[in-house]
């Protein structure tokens, strides 16, 4: 089953087109990473998918419901963590959660059960009676995610969930996100943290008003950079680059540093021995050769450089 399906989804604000003909399918139980520069239209997309604003054209189904004709059901089945979640500072963690659970329509018993469940899950139980005003940013963020989960939504939208958190708090929030996927939820994660997207996401959409690319992190790398190896030599690398470039299976060569070549090729298992033989025949001493995995950041920067297809 698909958690999210968009068909030609668009939103215009006066003269600005914020989202242009978005076609997107996100399978249930996955973490989808939505990446794009500032002003790309990510928040606008999330607001349409949560049935908070109407599309100008096109359609979308979230958790099986149409965002326009079944907006109440969409809202009942989605949770959203906004970039700056508001919590009541003078209320305790438990009071905050039970208050919001009642707003979602849960009975008093259900509200306290659900609040206790998430406070334990997110390791906030010991601090349940403390006013939230004294909580660290990481604790507040976990509490805000808990709040978004109180009505047990199938699809959770998280906007920059680890922004401004220290490494330990970020790790703890990422673990929470993984545990939510393990429980079968679908997570729509908007982030500028590419290492985080790489670690968490099953599927990544790179977006700038239009969807530029949609694939798994591994496929995005291979599609853009092919399969690459780093060749570390005992002597200078630059003089050998032209020779390597001439090999029929080599797609591209760059000099990574004084003694290192980055070689993009089609089939490392088959091509590496030929590459090494050619280098040795040219008098080079090969110290070692290893697979090279470009960072998702390199992939992302390459993708958003490309002009948006007409």
Q: Minimum Å distance from CB 223 to ligand ATP?
A: 23
Return the DSSP state at 236.
Answer: -
Query: Are 97 and 104 in contact, with CB atoms under 8 Å apart?
Result: no
Looking at beta carbons only, is 197 or 263 nearer to ligand ATP?
197
- Nearer CB in complex with ligand ATP: 122/207: 207
Axis-axis angle for helices 137-149, 93-103 (nearest 10) = 30
- Please compute Rg for the chain using Cα positions: 24
Total length of the chain: 310
Q: Which is nearer to ligand ATP, 49 or 101 (CB)?
A: 49
What residues line the site for ligand ATP (CB under 6 A)?
Answer: 13, 16, 18, 36, 38-44
CB of 207 to ligand ATP, least distance (A): 8
Nearer to ligand ATP, 71 or 91 (CB): 71
- For the chain, where are the E strands, in sequence order? 2-13, 16-27, 31-35, 57-62, 65-66, 78-81, 155-159, 186-190, 203-208, 210-215, 227-233, 250-257, 260-265, 286-292
Q: How far is the CB of 191 from ligand ATP (least distance, A)?
A: 10
Residue with smaller CB distance to ligand ATP, 18 or 93: 18
C-alpha torsion sign, points 117, 144, 183, 102: positive
Question: With respect to ligand ATP, which residue has the nearer C-beta, 43 or 73?
Answer: 43
Minimum CB separation of residue 146 from ligand ATP in Å reads 23
Given the DSSP bridges, would you call strands 155-159 and 186-190 parallel, antiparallel or unpaired?
parallel
Q: Cβ 101 to ligand ATP, closest distance in Å?
A: 28
Least distance from C-beta 44 to ligand ATP, angstroms? 3
CA–CA distance, 106 with 96 (Å, rounded to integer): 14
């Amino acid at each position: 089953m698909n958690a999210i399906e968009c068909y030609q989804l668009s939103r215009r604000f006066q003269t600005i087109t914020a989202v242009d003909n978005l076609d997107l399918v996100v399978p249930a139980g996955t973490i989808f990473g939505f990446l794009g520069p500032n002003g790309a239209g990510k928040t606008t997309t999330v607001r349409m998918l949560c049935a908070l604003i109407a599309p100008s054209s096109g359609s979308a189904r979230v958790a099986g419901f149409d965002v326009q004709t079944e907006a109440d059901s969409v809202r009942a089945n989605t949770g959203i963590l906004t970039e700056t979640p508001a919590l009541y500072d003078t209320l305790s963690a438990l009071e905050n959660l039970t208050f919001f659970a009642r707003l979602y329509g849960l009975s008093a018993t259900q509200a306290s059960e659900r609040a206790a469940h998430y406070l334990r899950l997110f390791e906030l139980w010991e601090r349940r009676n403390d006013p939230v005003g004294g909580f660290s940013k990481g604790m507040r963020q976990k509490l805000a995610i808990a709040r978004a989960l109180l009505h047990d939504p199938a699809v959770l939208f998280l906007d920059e969930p680890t922004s401004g958190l220290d490494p330990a708090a970020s790790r703890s929030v990422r673990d929470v996100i993984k545990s939510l996927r393990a429980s079968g939820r679908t997570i729509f994660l908007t982030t500028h943290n590419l290492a985080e997207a790489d670690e968490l996401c099953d599927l990544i959409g790179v977006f700038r008003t239009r969807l530029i690319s949609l694939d798994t992190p591994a496929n995005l790398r291979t599609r853009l950079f092919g399969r690459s190896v780093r060749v570390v030599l005992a002597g200078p690398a630059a003089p050998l680059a032209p020779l390597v470039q001439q090999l029929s299976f080599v797609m591209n060569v760059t000099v990574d540093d004084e003694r290192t070549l980055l070689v993009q090729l089609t089939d490392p298992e088959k091509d590496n021995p030929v590459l090494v033989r050619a280098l040795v025949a040219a008098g080079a001493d090969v110290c070692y050769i290893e697979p090279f995995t470009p960072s998702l950041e390199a992939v992302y920067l390459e993708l958003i450089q490309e002009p948006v297809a007409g």
